[in-house]
């Protein structure tokens, strides 16, 4: 697959960090445009560095791609952290979940992230480790973030969830997964349908998990 790494340690310092970020940015654009078969020399040229510099920072194309995934997914995880912080400002659990679902859909349907997701699925047969890296750096982290949101709402007495893992999958299924399915074939949901999917999905979720007031 990738070239063997001969690095003793990655370069450090401000210039090295600038080069590293330029390489990751160029790789993200190049991979989404050309696919995983894009050469490291093409990425180096787009980043304005030498091919040797690329390999000084990343020992293989797979390592570079994993970093691209990590940074792309990290942007989405920042969104989840902001959502969790906003929960403290509202006592309306439905509004909190609607806001959460909308933020997740926006993050999931970002064109560059959608292109990376489709690239990973297209390369799974050749390079299954790319799928493992994507799952670890992307969906698994999103699931942890959403689980934390649910725990916050349970601690506030607004939700009653006995199985967080199951609830996370159900919430994703009701609000986000349809976007990923149509996105995998280069399409998208109509805005009115996407809006109804979120509102109806949240209402169905609350039918199952909204905390019930004590008797009397």
Residue 5 is predicted with a pLDDT of 46
How far is the C-alpha of 137 from the C-alpha of 118, rounded, in Å? 15
The 10 Å Cβ neighbour count of residue 69 is 24
pLDDT given for residue 47 in this prediction: 95
Q: Which domains does the chain have, with CATH numbers?
A: 1-59 (1.10.10.60), 61-209 (1.10.357.10)
Q: Cα separation of 120 and 131, whole Å?
A: 6
CB within 8 Å of 205: residues ≥ 6 apart: 97, 167, 170, 171, 174
pLDDT at 3: 47
pLDDT score recorded for residue 131: 84
Contact predicate 79/103, CB 8 Å:
yes
For residues 173 and 208, what is the distance between their CA atoms, to the nearest angstrom?
A: 14
pLDDT of residue 7: 54
pTM of the model: 0.77
pLDDT of residue 155: 92
Going residue by residue through the chain, which has 216 residues, state the pLDDT in tens, using 9 for 90 and above: 444 444 556 677 888 999 999 999 999 999 988 888 899 999 999 999 999 999 999 999 989 988 888 888 776 667 777 777 777 777 789 998 998 899 888 888 888 888 888 888 888 888 888 888 888 888 888 898 899 989 989 999 999 999 999 999 999 999 999 998 888 787 888 999 999 999 999 999 999 999 987 665
């Amino acid at each position: 697959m990738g070239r063997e790494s001969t690095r003793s340690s990655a370069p450090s310092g401000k210039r090295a960090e600038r080069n590293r970020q330029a390489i990751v940015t160029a790789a993200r654009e190049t991979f989404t445009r050309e696919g995983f078969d894009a050469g490291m020399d093409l990425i180096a040229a787009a980043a304005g560095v030498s091919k040797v510099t690329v390999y000084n920072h990343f020992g293989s194309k797979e390592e570079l791609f994993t970093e691209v995934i990590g940074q792309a997914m990290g942007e989405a995880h920042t969104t989840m952290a902001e959502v969790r912080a906003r929960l403290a400002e509202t006592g309306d659990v439905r509004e909190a979940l609607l806001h959460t679902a909308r933020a997740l859909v926006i993050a999931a349907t970002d064109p560059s992230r959608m292109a990376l997701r489709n690239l990973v699925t297209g390369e799974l047969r050749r390079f299954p480790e790319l799928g493992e890296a994507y799952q670890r750096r992307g969906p698994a982290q999103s699931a942890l973030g959403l689980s934390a949101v649910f725990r916050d709402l349970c601690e506030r007495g607004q939700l009653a969830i006995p199985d967080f893992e199951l609830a996370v999958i159900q919430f994703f299924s009701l609000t986000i997964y349809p976007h990923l399915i149509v996105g995998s074939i280069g399409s998208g949901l109509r805005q009115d349908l996407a809006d109804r999917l979120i509102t109806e999905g949240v209402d169905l979720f609350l039918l199952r998990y909204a905390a019930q007031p004590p008797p009397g």
